[in-house]
């Protein structure tokens, strides 16, 4: 087991100026896994990531990367990591290529050819010789990824990686991450506050809230896209009908809105039933789970701060 874990966090805690930011996080990542670290802003995602890469020291607990402790074996542990933290900050007065050369010079194994391949991989070949100060956020994001994967790390850590990418860029990025995980065997650790992003990209997801991981599970267990919302004039009657005919528990969201999880049941039949029962149906749609919904589900209505 020791050999196969890529990243192991044990009871990781951080207190900054008397305020506990991360309150005992335990995680284990295996090779080729795409792991999502999901949580709202200020939940402690970035602080956790900073502890993983040794930018800040944990108040308590330990980080082990490929069997090496970050605290005692920093060089060996970090040899296996590539990362972008928070924003892709690069030297603005250098060109993209010069930036990559800077980082390549710090690692002997990176050849010129590898740099060129990586630039092609992130689709930056046409702009790589321009100054970074002329780049858009999306281009800097790509450069950041290039820099992170250059040394073929076993663990790739991406903090809010799709910030600033356009829809096409996001799709491209998703494919790139999948390719890196499945073809190059990298374990990818992606943090995000966007559920959709995590859902489309990751295999396993951990949800962090106020410094505590509240759930770790397979992504399909957490996200369900079968929630339907109806807008109609008689919610009580509709709820009763659903229970009676399909054994579905629906909840009333607003005055005229109810919602329920509809699995294999054909939605058309339900709607037909409503109309036959004389309910005026004005609107019906599948509802995308939001992070808030998920938190409400997981914490069963606890206050979200």
Contacts with other proteins by CB under 8 A lie at 16, 50, 53-57, 74-76, 78-79, 81, 83, 85-87, 89-94, 98, 102-103, 105-108, 147
Evaluate whether 152 touches 115 at the Cβ level (below 8 Å).
no
Long-range Cβ contact pairs of 201-205 (< 8 A, separation 24 or more): 201/34, 201/36, 201/174, 201/177, 202/34, 202/35, 202/36, 203/33, 203/34, 203/35, 204/33, 204/34, 204/35, 204/36, 205/35, 205/36, 205/37, 205/38
Q: Helices H, strands E: what count in the chain?
A: 11, 14
| Other beta carbons less than 10 A from residue 288's beta carbon | 12
Give the nearest distance from C-beta 79 to other proteins in angstroms.
4
Q: How many whole angstroms separate alpha carbon 174 and alpha carbon 162? A: 9
| Spatial CA neighbour of 181 closest among 214, 209, 154 | 154
Q: How far is the CB of 155 from other proteins (least distance, A)?
A: 11
Largest CA distance in the chain: 74
- Tell me the β-bridge partners of 235: none
Task: State the minimum distance, in angstroms, from the CB of residue 102 to other proteins.
Answer: 5
Q: How far is the CB of 183 from other proteins (least distance, A)?
A: 24
Q: Judged by CB, which is closer to other proteins: 90, or 232?
A: 90
Q: Which is nearer to other proteins, 49 or 242 (CB)?
A: 49
Smaller CB distance to other proteins: residue 36 or 82?
82
Q: How far is the CB of 164 from other proteins (least distance, A)?
A: 15
User: Looking at beta carbons only, is 103 or 246 nearer to other proteins?
Assistant: 103
DSSP classification of residue 257: E
Nearest to 97 by CA among 167, 41, 163, 150: 150
Question: Which residue, 52, 110, 43, is CA-closest to 84?
Answer: 52
Q: How far is the CB of 256 from other proteins (least distance, A)?
A: 48
How far, in Å, CA of 37 to CA of 198, rounded?
A: 8
Nearest distance, CB of residue 157 and other proteins, angstroms? 9
Q: Give CA angle at 65 (59, 70), nearest 5°.
A: 40
Nearer to other proteins, 30 or 74 (CB): 74
Give me the sheet containing 7-16, strands edge to edge: 19-29, 7-16, 60-65, 68-69
Pair of tokens at residue 123: 């689709």
- Residue 85 or 124 having the CB closest to other proteins: 85
CB of 74 to other proteins, least distance (A): 7
């Amino acid at each position: 087991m020791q050999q196969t874990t890529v990243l192991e966090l044990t009871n990781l805690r951080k207190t900054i100026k008397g305020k506990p930011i991360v309150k005992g996080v335990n995680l284990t990542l295996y090779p080729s896994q795409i792991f999502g670290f999901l949580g709202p802003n200020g939940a402690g995602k970035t602080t956790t990531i900073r502890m993983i890469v040794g930018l800040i020291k944990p108040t308590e607990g330990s980080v082990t990367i490929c069997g090496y402790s970050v605290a005692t074996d920093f060089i060996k542990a970090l040899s296996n990591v590539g990362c972008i933290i928070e924003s892709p900050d690069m030297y603005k007065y250098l060109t993209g290529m010069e930036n990559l050369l800077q980082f390549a010079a710090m690692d002997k194994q990176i050849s010129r050819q590898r740099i060129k391949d990586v630039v092609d991989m992130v689709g930056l070949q046409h702009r790589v010789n321009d100054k970074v100060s002329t780049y858009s956020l999306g281009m800097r994001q790509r450069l950041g990824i290039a820099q992170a994967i250059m040394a073929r790390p076993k663990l790739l850590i991406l903090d809010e990686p799709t910030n600033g990418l356009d829809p096409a860029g996001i799709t491209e990025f998703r494919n790139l991450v999948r390719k890196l995980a499945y073809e190059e065997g990298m374990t990818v650790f992606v943090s995000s506050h966007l559920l959709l992003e995590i859902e489309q990209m990751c295999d396993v997801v951990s949800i962090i809230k106020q410094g505590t991981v509240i759930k770790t599970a397979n992504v399909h267990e957490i996200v369900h896209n079968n929630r339907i919302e109806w807008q109609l004039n008689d919610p009580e009657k509709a709820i009763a009908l659903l229970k009676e005919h399909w054994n579905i528990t629906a909840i009333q969201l607003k005055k005229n809105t109810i919602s329920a999880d509809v699995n294999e049941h054909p939605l058309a039949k339900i709607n037909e039933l409503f109309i036959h029962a004389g309910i005026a149906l004005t609107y019906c749609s599948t509802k995308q789970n939001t992070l808030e919904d998920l938190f409400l589900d997981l914490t069963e209505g606890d206050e979200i701060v």
